[in-house]
Structures are given as C-alpha cells and as structure tokens.
Structure 1
Amino acid sequence: MKTTIDLNWLENMSFEADVNGHTIRVDAGTESGGDDSGARPKPLMLVALAGCTGMDVVSILKKMRVEYDKLTISVEANMREEHPKYYDEMKIIYHFVGKDLPVKKIERAVELSDEQYCGVSALYKMAIPLTSEIIITEK
C-alpha cells in the first residue's frame, strides 16, 4: 500500500500538509529563520511514535478489559549535536493512573505494541536504540 503526503510551501520556512483531512503546519523557529507558526519536523517523529504505540496499547487493553483513569505517553529523545542532527536514542514512558491496575496485562500490552504491532517503533529500532518504561500510579 502506497501513501503519499504533499507538503505545500506557504511562506518563509512554513509548510502545510493535509494528513487524512487534518492540516499539519511545520515551521522553523525564529532562531532558524522561521516564524514559529508550526511544529518542528523532528519532534513530529516523536509524536508519531507516541501515537502509534499509544493506539496499540489502548486497543489491546480494551480487548483485555483493563480500565484505567489516565494514560500519558512521553517520548524522550537525544539529539546529536553535530550535523546531520538527528535523534540517536529514544525512550517511551507509559504512565498509567488508576486503581488496582493489572501490571502483567499492562506490561503485555506494551510488549505486544513494541514487538508486533507498532510500525513506527519497528522502523525507528532499525536505526537507533529504543527503550521503554512503565510507570503505574495507584489512585
């Protein structure tokens, strides 16, 4: 299956893309000659990773009938200082909040996303170290 995204230049360093009917604007910061009117491209890579694994985990836990009050997914990434600048490692942190959460089921859901379902993490793991951590806070 082929996917094509068109990125249209607006002005200066600003571009817009239509992604599944949703407009995403990217731009550089003022320190790099942009107008700071949109997200930077590299952090959107982290959004893609968090979104991909997040949707997997939510879907799997729903099938397992696991209920929680809150789920926050953070992605920490280390950017190289020399050019070309890119992330050379990433860590996904899953933070669950709830009462009497089944730790083994949560760990299994994260594991299934990591090892079987999340295409974004599968691709990233080909190029950089990718780790994860689960934090559970009892309510």
Structure 2
Amino acid sequence: MKHIVDMAWTDKIAFEADMDGHKVIVDASEEVGGSDLGPRPKKLMLASLAGCTGVDVVMILKKMKVNIEAFNVIVEADVTDEHPKHYNKIKVVYQFKGKDLPMEKLEKAVKLSEEKYCGVSAVYRKAMEMKTEIRIVE
C-alpha cells in the first residue's frame, strides 16, 4: 500500500494538501512572510499522532464495552533551539470523562495503541523520547 499527499503551493508561503479529496491548508505566520491561513506543518505531526492513537483507543474501548462520555488526546512537544528545529520530547495525555471508568482497561487500550496499532507512534518512538499520561475527569 502507498499513501500519497499532493501539496500545492497557493500563495506566498501557503500550501493546500489534498489527501484523498480532503483539503488542509498549511501556512507560516505573518512575521515570517506567511498569511496565517492554516496550521504550521510541524504541528500537523502532533495532530497526526493524536488522531492516530485517539482512533485506536476509541475502537479498542468500544470492543471492551467501555462507555466514555468524552475523550481528548492532548499532545505536548518540546522543540529544539537549533536548526533544523524538531521535536525531541513528546508527552501524550489521554483525558477521559465518564463514571466508574475502569483504569486497567483504559491503560490496556492506550498501551495497545502505542505499542501495536498506531503507526505514527511507532515512528516517533524511534526518533524521540515519548511519555504517556492518563487522566480521568468525572
């Protein structure tokens, strides 16, 4: 299988990505010559990780018959000071809301995503330090 993204330059420093018919605009801030029309490309790496592992966790918890009221994946990353500036540490916070949520099942779902199913997480773990936190909000 091959994944393809077609990234077309649109204006100044902005680009429009076409991913299977879905459009995403990426751009730079105004202070560096962009128009701030969309997120920065590097931050999309964090969104990819959050989306990949989030989908996994929801699917796994549904199979486990765990009912959650709300769920957020918060990704925090440290950026190096030197060029090329890149992420060197990532923390993924899985925040669940619900009553009487079984922590052992939440932990198992997160672990399965991070270690078995999420391809984004698999690549990032090879490149940088990653930490995980699970929070329950009732």
TM-score (norm 2): 0.98
Question: 1:21 Cα deviation (Å)?
Answer: 1.5
Code of the aligned partner of 2:83: H
Question: 1:61 Cα deviation (Å)?
Answer: 0.1
Q: How many residues get paired?
A: 138
**Counterpart in the other structure of 1:82:** 82
Q: Distance between the aligned counterparts of 2:24 and 2:72, measured in 1?
A: 22
Mapped contact 2:4–2:19 kept (Cα < 8 A): no
Give ranges in structure 2 of 5+ residues lacking alignment: none
Kindly indicate whether residue 57 of structure 2 is the aligned counterpart of residue 57 of structure 1: yes
Code of the aligned partner of 1:125: R
Q: Distance between the aligned counterparts of 1:128 and 1:31, measured in 2?
A: 29
Q: Distance between the aligned counterparts of 2:16 and 2:52, measured in 1?
A: 22
RMSD across aligned positions (CA): 0.7
Question: 1:20 Cα deviation (Å)?
Answer: 2.0
**Counterpart in the other structure of 1:100:** 100
Q: Distance between the aligned counterparts of 1:20 and 1:120, measured in 2?
A: 18
**Counterpart in the other structure of 1:22:** 22
Question: 1:115 Cα deviation (Å)?
Answer: 0.7
Question: 1:52 Cα deviation (Å)?
Answer: 0.2
Runs of 4+ residues over 4 Å off in structure 1: none
Q: What pairs up with 1:1-139 in 2 under 5 angstroms? A: 1-138=1-138
TM-score (norm 1): 0.97
